[in-house]
Amino acid sequence: MDLGYFETSLPVANIGASLAFYEALGFERAEYAEDAGVATMIRGDCRIGLFQGGLDPSRPQLIFWQGDVDRLAAEVERNGAAFLRPLKKDNHGGAFMLQDPDGHPLYVIQMSTFYPQYLRHTRAAPSERPASLMIDRRLGWYEVGLPVAEMLRSVAFYETLGFKAVLREPNGKRVTMQNGDCRVGLFQGHLDPARVQLIFWQGDVLELADDVRRAGLKFFRGPSGQSDHATFMLRDPDDHPLFFIRMPGVVGNA
């Protein structure tokens, strides 16, 4: 099931402060619609949407852009997943929303016109998708980490959307699911804090820590460890956690 290209979207209180934070981490603005209070930031294989207002519900969302929403809505219904909001269409496109068993929202949207209500930013949607993002080896590969209460239930939900398990810890408390460019880490009891986290795997963690110091950002935890096994955590201006980790034995992204 081709859901579209993936973005982790975050609600922010002050988009200027959020832009400054992510730019200090080496992210670049792929788009900034100032009147709408929306920006897209990219580094490596991580695409982040910053929304000052506009996200409903106002919490981190998994957003899938420019898939065939008519076909996808029909597939979702056939597979037995319940809509939080059913498919709704207008002259500019269509969208529907799902919610996983732990309340994490997934928004599937196809637009023919971007920002139709903000004339300074209105433009036709590109006829082709953006090129696939490439991993930044210094940053590491990206997955969005989600806390879950019942692993089997969560895995089953994502399987109905075409995700496949690409990594399972033997104790069953961590499973990584992937569909296209979207990599979701499901964590039963492992995430601290127990909320959505932006996780970057197998980068040059200690060198990244030096980058963070030079940028004048504050660590939330760490850095700790040595070059082959190290971690640290940051929090952005809206307290969204970013976790950077390098561990022996973790080879390549799936």
Identical fold between 4-114 and 141-246: yes
pLDDT tens digits, residue range 116-145? 787 788 888 777 788 889 999 999 999 999
Predicted local distance difference test score (pLDDT) of residue 113: 81
Residues paired with 28 in a beta bridge:
42
pLDDT tens digits, residue range 84-117? 999 999 999 999 999 999 999 999 999 988 877 8
For the chain, what are the domain ranges?
A: 4-114, 141-246
Burial tier of 173 (Cβ tally within 10 Å: 0-12, 13-18, 19+) = middle
The mean pLDDT value of the chain amounts to 94
Calpha distance 63→9 (Å, rounded): 7
Average confidence (pLDDT) over 150-156? 97
**What three-state secondary structure class fits 76?**
helix
Residue 253 scores a pLDDT above 60: no
Whether this model's pTM surpasses 0.85: yes
Calpha distance 53→51 (Å, rounded): 6
Which CATH superfamily does the domain covering 4-114 fall into? 2,3-Dihydroxybiphenyl 1,2-Dioxygenase, domain 1 (3.10.180.10)
The helix (run of H) or strand (run of E) holding residue 197 is strand 197-201
Calpha distance 190→148 (Å, rounded): 9
Classified by CATH at the fold level, domain 141-246 comes out as 2,3-Dihydroxybiphenyl 1,2-Dioxygenase; domain 1 (3.10.180)
Predicted local distance difference test score (pLDDT) of residue 159: 97
**What three-state secondary structure class fits 133?**
coil
Calpha distance 28→39 (Å, rounded): 10
Calpha distance 11→107 (Å, rounded): 14
Asked whether 94 and 108 are in contact (CB, 8 A), the reply is no
pLDDT tens digits, residue range 41-66? 999 999 999 999 989 999 999 999 99
The helix (run of H) or strand (run of E) holding residue 209 is helix 205-215
